[in-house]
Structures are given as C-alpha cells and as structure tokens.
Amino acid sequence: MFPADAADAATLLRYADMAMYQAKERGRANYAFYTEYMGRRMAEKILLHERLKLALAYGGLALHYQPQVDVATGRMQAVEALLRWTDPQLGEVAPDRFIPVAEATGLILAVGAWVLDAACRQIGQWVRAGSPLRVAVNLSAQQLRQTDLVDQLRSSLAQHGAPPDLLELEVTESEAMADPEQARLMLCNLQALGVCVALDDFGTGYSSLSHLKQLPVSRIKIDREFIRPVLRSGADATLVRAVIMLARTLGLHVVAEGVESPEQLLFLAQHGCDAYQGWLYSKAVPAQSVLALLHGDDPAQASVPAALA
C-alpha cells in the first residue's frame, strides 16, 4: 500500500509480488497484504541461495551418516547419508532451512549431484579400506525428472570405484506419485545400473499396493511419525504391524526410522521388522566415525534389548 509500504512504483510492485506468492501458498481464492515479515523471509531466501552456491564452489557441504542397524543382531548393515552445511557467515544451517530454498530456486539439482558424487566417493573409500557399507541417499522430486540423472550416476560410480549395489536411492511416496509413470521409468533405469531403490516415509503418502507393485523398490522405510507414538497409540501400532506384514508378504525389507528407546526396538523385533535407525543406536556422524562404529559392533554391547541379545 502506498505510501505506508513504499513510495516508488518499483518497490511497490516488488512487494506486491511477494504478497502474491504468499496468497498462492494459502491455496485458491486467497489474498494477502505485504508485511515486513515477507520482506525478511525473501531477504533470507536470497542470502541462503547465494551462500549455498558459494558452499558448492568452496566445499562447505559435508555428508554425515546415520547407521541402519539389523534388529535381530544389533549390527550395522548400512548408513543413510544426511547433508550438513556449515557456513562461515551463517554458521550451521539446518537442512529444513536451506533445502526448501534449494528446491524453490532450482539449486537442488546441483546440491543433489554433489551429494550423489560424495556418497559414491565415500563408498569407494570404504570398499578400498576393506569395509564395504551400503549408503542410502535421498532423491528429490526434481532429480526424478532430471534427464541426465542415470548418466550422471553411472559416471560417479565408475569414477570412484563404487559398486552399484552399495548405493541405495530413497524416494518418498509423494515424490514418486507426482508423475507415477515417469518415476517408474526413471527408477527402473536407475535399478538397471545395479543400485537399490527404497520407498521413504512409507505411510505418509499414498501407501497403496498398486504403487508398491509399479515401483522397483526392494526396501520400504516407516516414517518416524508412526514410530514415535507406537507404544501409546493403538492406531499407530496397528499401522506399523500392518506395514511390516505387508513388506514381508511382498518380499521387501522394512526399516523403521526415528527409533529412540529400547521399548520401541523391542516392539519392532517382536513384529519382524528387519532394521532400524535412530538415536537409540547413533545420531548421524562424520565418515571417520562410521568405521569405528562398524568395527565396534558387538551384539552383546549394542543397543539391543536383553530379550533380543
């Protein structure tokens, strides 16, 4: 509004544009007035975008790895790669703060390429160290539409000497179902390289048998939002049991995310869950700490309930 928000046409139009996007985020048939908060949010978005581009150039990104642990034995069987960013100016920037900016600006393709290449490099290093370990990497919806993704991944695997079967690509149901046929073709092409495919956050999206049948997945992951209340919510406990039973019927492995207590782990063990990840065993750690965890894996000392030891 003139003159409260700005005194010149160019600034008024820029602010009106911000208000328009705010209205669009609220859905159809909505409106919004510009506020200073919108301006601050846009300024932060621009700053994060520019700093993230610099981080890609100077090496400010890093991967940490959260173990995936066999429920029955308590031994680490794989890790999930999680992106971390420490900026000289901004300090540690949380993924839930910068990933949406990367997705909104298209920078997610460059970030995703960096993550895939770094994961392949790490796989190759662990193989040469005599400690091969499967690494799971999340794919974004934009990467699923990327025409050169298969060639890019083939090149990274070859360059770093990473066996394809030690790389697992995770996609969420909502991402895969945004364009089911295109996602199926892309995932089949990726699977043809020899990599594994997992369906992430299972239970939060469409969760239908037809989707599971269409997609070339070998593993499904139960979202932490169902694991957290599993001991106090009958509905969540029933859902988790049903997912595990469904996975076993279809010959799929199932991984539970966000396991934080021995009681949760005992519940999963009693109902046949294959693997879990979460703070009960370990938070995400730098690469140099992974082998220490791997070689220190002793079933008698791992975070496994006594009933399972």
Tens place of pLDDT for every residue, the chain, 309 residues?
899 888 899 988 988 888 887 788 788 888 989 888 777 877 888 899 999 999 999 889 999 999 999 999 999 999 999 999 999 999 999 999 999 999 988 999 999 999 999 999 999 999 999 999 999 999 998 999 999 999 999 999 999 999 999 999 999 877 777 777 888 899 999 999 999 999 987 766 555 666 677 788 999 999 898 898 888 888 889 989 999 998 888 899 999 999 999 999 999 999 999 999 999 999 999 999 999 998 875 443 344 443 354
Q: In this structure, which amino acid lies at residue 125?
A: Q
How many CB atoms are closer than 10 A to CB 143?
23
Residue 18 lies in a domain: no
The SS3 assignment for 288 reads: helix
Residue 257 lies in a domain: yes
Structural domain boundaries enclosing 252: 61-295
Residue 106 lies in a domain: yes
Cα distance between residue 77 and residue 68, in whole Å = 6
Q: What is the pLDDT of residue 215?
A: 83
| pTM, full prediction | 0.85
Residue at token pair 């295109």: 182
Residue 143 lies in a domain: yes
Q: Which residues pair with 83 in a beta bridge?
A: 63
Residue 22 lies in a domain: no
Residue 165's CATH number: 3.20.20.450
Q: What is the pLDDT of residue 205?
A: 59
Cα distance between residue 78 and residue 294, in whole Å = 10
**What value does the CA radius of gyration of the chain take, rounded to a whole number of Å?**
22
- What distance separates the 2 farthest-apart alpha carbons in the chain? 72
Residue 21 lies in a domain: no
Q: What is the pLDDT of residue 175?
A: 79
Counting the structural domains of the chain, the total is: 1
Residue at token pair 């290093």: 125
